[in-house]
Structure 1
Amino acid sequence: MTTDTSTLFSRRALLGVFAATTLTATPTLSKAAGFLRGAGDIRRISMISPRTGEKIDTIYWIEGKYIRDAVEEISYFMRDWRVDDVKAIDTRTIDIMAAAHNLVDTREPYTMLSGYRSPSTNAMLRRRSKNVARNSRHIAGQAADLRLQSRSVGQLSKAALACHGGGVGRYSRSNFVHMDCGPKRSWGR
């Protein structure tokens, strides 16, 4: 008796298996618009957290749909590690991060310095630095502070700005770039 493989594997499952074996997502600029330019038909995000020692490398979007479990995994990874509080990360921010990463053309994972911040953590950081906004997008789960060792702050911020998706802050002295899905704006040196 022969088994029809189409009953064992759906097209989506096969694509998921294929996508999980690829090293990088292929950008499809012709089908993308606005800040999604460069994110690709299969979107992947890869990060490490020096604070927790955790790593993530996941495909979170295939065939025009977000993969709920992957987005939840990203949200957990980007949690406020100080108080172990998780908030859903806005998928627009994840898209901006993925698109900027593709535009700088590297396989190096982002080093994530800050993702979601609880209000108490944000208030504590504000007391220590004038550069922390009172109503930070981090509190809303809409921002990330990222770095790449293989790319300069200037290179990474230019890629993020090219996404036309939100705020981009350059923090050259601290060697990181802030990306968020809020209004389009830029600051820093």
Structure 2
Amino acid sequence: MTFDNSGHVTRRALLGAFAATTLVAAPTFSNAAGFLKGAGDIRRLRMVSTRTGEKIDTIYWIEGQYIKDAVKEISIFMRDWRLDEVKNIDTRTIDIMAASHNLVDTSEPYTLLSGYRNPNTNAMLRRRSSNVARNSRHMAGQAADLRLKSRSVGQLTKAAVACHSGGVGRYSRANFVHMDCGPTRTWGG
């Protein structure tokens, strides 16, 4: 991927990331629509969970339509593993995850650290860490904490920020990136 002098992904690199392959994922937000033109008609998501030992590699969107069973499979995969509780994951978050993955140009699956969190799980994690938000989007099925072994936290953060959709939290010490479909914002170091 190509970055400009300020460390941002260049427009050419961003457009190339979407146009170079037919396996494309992009946020469903209006400001990202321009990146989709001529970019293909399939969106795919690949993840592993070291907590459950599960893997997922699924095409969840074809020809402008979400595949209901694939989105359900992603929601089950991203469940609160501590309580085995499932909540529907917002497709906007799935799109941000897939678009960011596409931008970093790797076939390595994400390692999912946290997807949906039951309010009790979120409260327990909040007691352990000041980095856990009281009203976390994880509790609404709108967030994911992800890592890639082959890419730095900085590279994954830049890709997520380049989508111009949702929140992106950079957690360098813990080696993961938070992505959500809330208001566009960034934090962390």
Q: TM-score, normalised by structure 2?
A: 0.82
- List structure 1 segments (4+ residues) > 4 angstroms apart after TM superposition: none
Aligned to 1:177: 177
Computing the radius of gyration from Cα coordinates, the structure with the larger value is: 1
SS at match of 2:140: coil
Aligned to 2:41: 41
- Indicate the percent of aligned positions where both proteins have the same amino acid: 77
Structure 2 distance, partners of 1:25, 1:129, is 41
Aligned to 2:75: 75
Structure 2 distance, partners of 1:156, 1:164, is 14
Report matched runs for 1:28-107 at 5 Å. 34-35=31-32, 37=35, 40-107=40-107
Structure 1 distance, partners of 2:25, 2:144, is 24
How large is the RMSD of aligned CA atoms in angstroms? 1.8
Structure 1 distance, partners of 2:55, 2:41, is 23
Q: Deviations over 1:44-71 (max 9, x none)?
A: 0000001000000000000000000000
Aligned to 1:152: 152
Aligned to 2:23: 26
Q: TM-score, normalised by structure 1?
A: 0.82
Structure 2 distance, partners of 1:142, 1:87, is 10
Equivalenced residues, count: 164
Aligned to 1:114: 114
What is the CA distance between 1:34 and its match in structure 2? 2.7
Q: Deviations over 1:115-143 (max 9, x none)?
A: 00000000000000000000000000000
Q: Deviations over 1:85-131 (max 9, x none)?
A: 00000000000000000000000000000000000000000000000
